[in-house]
Amino acid sequence: MKNYIRKILLCVDNSELSHEATDAAITISRTLNCQVIGVHAYNARMHEGAFRIMEPIIPSKYQDEALLSKQRTGHKKLINMGLESISMTYVKPIEELLNAEGIENRSIVREGKNFKVINEVIEEEKPELVIMGSSGFNAAKEGFIGSVCLRVLRDNNRNFFIIKRPVSFKKFVVCLDGSSSAIDTLRIANLLSEYFNAELHLVYVFDVELHRALFRKLKDSVATLEGFNFNSEEQERIHDEFIDKGLENVGGMILDRAVQECNILIPDNLEGWGPAVQRRVFRKVMAGHIYKTICDYAKDIEADVVFTGRTGRHFVKGIDIGSVAENVVRFAPCSVFVTMHREFKGWEI
């Protein structure tokens, strides 16, 4: 099977999730024989600015401009050297871990605003995968994503593995809608599931309430038109039945295509797609609010990773990341693998 990942960029900040991201990078790179590049940014200029802000409250005997200038120079040098030294203590242990595993690696430590430095390194190195924690030291309640993670995710059309908790690589939820990004999602998830012998849960979710709400508004609008004969109850029943069954059938067709695309074999002697010891692939077509239904399903099966495309079938130019992908990253109970946007339309179903 083709290896889609050859170079991993690992974002490091010495937080708990950064340590979990390191573990995930080691596991993947050891399995796929990838190079790992660790990156850490330190923002010395922020501390220089803070020092200047404090100057007016320094005792008057230190307010001499020549003395202040000397203090600024000394403080700047101290801050730069200190933060660089601290940064090296973050990356050195990771280098030692990677070297012990025989994984090709190198580190980049650079001064600058965190997300900007990471964006620059992504542009320079062009990794197939970026691994980072969903937040740094300021992790908060459910739905919180750190500013660095969110900015980097929005700014770069790359594959991302957003770490939200320790990853054991045993159960994968794969979100499918037939789009080009979902096809990449399927291929990478299938690749990793083969290596890690992980369960694959192929999921399609359709939102019937959205279509029903639109129909009701349309019904209320046309029912008031003079001379328009509209049997609202019958039309609503036909519409709901057609939409519900139609979207469910589309979901089944997409999952059928996914199984064929990845050459996944389901034993003939087992009916349905429910759990069984003899197989590791499950299909699930569900109705509901899309991101929430995905997250609830991941929670129910205790998934380790949710795989989702960056964009879906409704992509238009100007979208940096789809709403489903962003909300899955925010609210999934586990780590999330986001595959990059592709220009072609995807499967014709």
> Given this model, what pLDDT does residue 275 score?
45
Instruction: Supply the Cα-derived Rg of the chain in whole angstroms.
Output: 25
pLDDT over threshold 50, residue 1: no
Query: Which helix (DSSP H) or strand (DSSP E) does residue 109 occupy?
Result: strand 105-111
**204 vs 140, more confident:** 204
Overall average pLDDT of the 135-153 stretch = 86
Other residues' Cβ atoms within 10 Å of the Cβ of residue 44: 18
How far is 325 from 336, CA to CA, in rounded Å? 9
> Given this model, what pLDDT does residue 272 score?
44
Find how far residue 44's CA is from the centre of its chain. 29
pLDDT over threshold 70, residue 17: yes
Range name among 61-70, 164-173, 302-311 with the lowest pLDDT average: 61-70
Domains of the chain: 1-167 (3.40.50.620), 170-211+244-349 (3.40.50.620)
How far is 307 from 325, CA to CA, in rounded Å? 9
pLDDT over threshold 50, residue 269: no
Find how far residue 80's CA is from the centre of its chain. 33
> Given this model, what pLDDT does residue 89 score?
84
- The token pair that represents 336 in the structure block: 């999330």
Q: Tens digits of per-residue pLDDT, 42-92?
A: 876 655 555 555 556 666 666 666 665 656 565 555 566 666 777 788 899
Nearest in space to 9 (alpha carbons), one of 123, 93, 102, 135 = 123
pLDDT over threshold 90, residue 162: yes
- The token pair that represents 316 in the structure block: 């238009």
Q: Tens digits of per-residue pLDDT, 222-258?
A: 555 555 555 566 666 665 666 667 777 888 888 888 8
Give the torsion sign (CA, 107, 111, 117, 123).
Answer: negative
How far is 297 from 306, CA to CA, in rounded Å? 10
**3-state class of 310 per DSSP?**
coil
pLDDT over threshold 60, residue 279: no
Mean per-residue pLDDT of the chain: 81
Find how far residue 314's CA is from the centre of its chain. 19
Whether 341 and 315 have beta carbons less than 8 Å apart is answered as yes
How far is 299 from 231, CA to CA, in rounded Å? 42
pLDDT over threshold 70, residue 336: yes
Range name among 3-7, 92-96, 101-105 with the lowest pLDDT average: 3-7
pLDDT over threshold 80, residue 263: no
- The token pair that represents 286 in the structure block: 């569900």
pLDDT over threshold 60, residue 21: yes
- Residue indicated by tokens 């922020």: 46
Whether 161 and 322 have beta carbons less than 8 Å apart is answered as no
How far is 189 from 191, CA to CA, in rounded Å? 5
The two beta strands, 171-175 and 305-309, are: parallel
Encoded amino acid at 312, one letter: G
Range name among 32-36, 90-94, 99-103, 241-245 with the lowest pLDDT average: 241-245
DSSP 8-state assignment for residue 164: S
> Given this model, what pLDDT does residue 274 score?
47
Pinpoint the alpha helices (H) of the chain.
16-32, 44-54, 65-100, 114-125, 147-155, 180-196, 208-222, 232-261, 290-301, 323-331
- The token pair that represents 243 in the structure block: 């939409």
How far is 275 from 256, CA to CA, in rounded Å? 17
Confidence of residue 277 (pLDDT cuts 50, 70, 90): very low
